[in-house]
Amino acid sequence: MIIVGVPRALLYYYYFPFWKTFLESCGAKVILSPPTNKRLLEKGLELAESEICLPVKVFLGHVQSLISQVDFVLVPRVVKPERRSYSCPKLLGLPDMVKTLLPSPSALLFPLQDRDRKKEMAEEWFEVARKLKGLSFWKFKRAYWEALKAQKKAEKEKKRDFYPRNGGLKIGLVGHPYILNDTYITHSLVKRLRERGVYVYLSEEVESSQIRKATRKLPKPIFWSYEKELVGSALFWIQNKLIDGLIMVYSFGCGPDSLTQVLLETEAFKYGELPFLNLVFDEHTSEAGLLTRLEAFLDMLAWRKLNAS
Ligand code: SF4
């Protein structure tokens, strides 16, 4: 049986339902790299250029950990996650970076994902199916359709209803899923907030219609899809007065998020000076430093809330 490795990093946190359903329908066995750990991070740091953002460094460590166990590594080239807006440049170039790591470039599967080029996208996934098992066109069509359906279902399941809540601190946590879900990199930030009784709201839980509506009044459309989700979700919480504070989590070396952060800080200030905390992660971020900043922020929010009531 052909084994395909999927790095448990970056776009895995968006598209794994699609990839897994499709690959398994093609008869492949899918294996994931382990959750990020010290060894894997060190490997990524060794392989990457120093100015690359932390999530890409981590990603390269994940790829390296898979190479000896698999026939292929899957790294789709995600160009437009939604119509008329793009992935960040580092994600666009990801397959090219990975090629340099592989013993043979043909061990890389890098089909296109692009909402504006559906035909080319289907053709490239058909090529993957042919490499793996030689599926007939009709069987491929069914596998592809099932994979798209699984993706849609998984995305729908992440969404939730937001409504004004009494009691307890409500915090909007703005950050890419590949950072927030990587407990090694973030020292389990989400869990730590929840353990302290905070209601944590995540960007990926906000409906795309609410994101579109919330970003409509911005002077310019946001060019990058994933940043649009971050900005739109935060604006949605702010405009509807759903949160007591906003935490933006991003990585050192991230160009798009450095712009997102300025935009959000300005917007948070416009809506009644909403408290805003920036947490920038890199490979040296210490747990103790993170906790000190978090505790100080939560104390300030609690004090503010008490004095407002
Ligand atoms: S959006 Fe930022 S963190 Fe994510 S891959 Fe691009 S540069 Fe890296």
Share of the chain above pLDDT 90, in %: 77
Q: Which atom of ligand 1 is nearest to the CA of 250?
A: 3
74-130 confidence digits (pLDDT tens)? 999 999 999 889 999 999 999 999 998 877 877 999 999 999 999 999 999 999 999
Q: How far apart are CA 89 and CA 68, in angstroms?
A: 28
The Cα-based distances of 265 to 29, 169, 215, 232, 262 in angstroms read 45, 19, 15, 13, 5
Domains 3-158 and 170-308 share a fold: yes
**How many angstroms separate the alpha carbon of residue 309 from the centre of ligand 1?**
40
| Ligand 1 probe mutation, 252, 257, 260, most atoms within 8 A of CB | 257
Q: Is the CB of 254 under 6 A from ligand 1?
A: yes
pLDDT mean over 254-262: 90
Domain 3-158 in CATH 3.40.50.11890? The answer is yes
Domain ranges in the chain? Answer: 3-158, 170-308
Q: Give the pLDDT score at 220.
A: 86
Cβ atoms of 210 and 239 closer than 8 Å: no
Q: Is the CB of 261 under 6 A from ligand 1?
A: no
Query: Residue 58 is which amino acid?
Result: V
CA angle 159, 155, 74 (to 5 degrees): 145
pLDDT mean over 270-289: 89
Q: Give the pLDDT score at 25.
A: 92
**How many angstroms separate the alpha carbon of residue 176 from the centre of ligand 1?**
9
Higher-confidence residue of 133 and 197: namely 197
Secondary structure element (H or E) that encloses residue 198, with its range? none
The Cα-based distances of 209 to 173, 205, 224, 242, 281 in angstroms read 19, 12, 17, 17, 30
- pTM given for the model: 0.94
Q: Which atom of ligand 1 is nearest to the CA of 178?
A: 4
Q: Is the CB of 94 under 6 A from ligand 1?
A: no
pLDDT band at residue 166, thresholds of 50, 70 and 90? confident
**How many angstroms separate the alpha carbon of residue 139 from the centre of ligand 1?**
36
Q: Give the pLDDT score at 309.
A: 66
CATH of domain 170-308: 3.40.50.11900
Residue-level length of the chain: 309
Give the CA radius of gyration of the chain: 20
The pLDDT of residue 235 is above 90: yes
Measured from the Cβ of residue 194, the count of other Cβ atoms closer than 10 Å reads: 12
β-partners of residue 26 are none
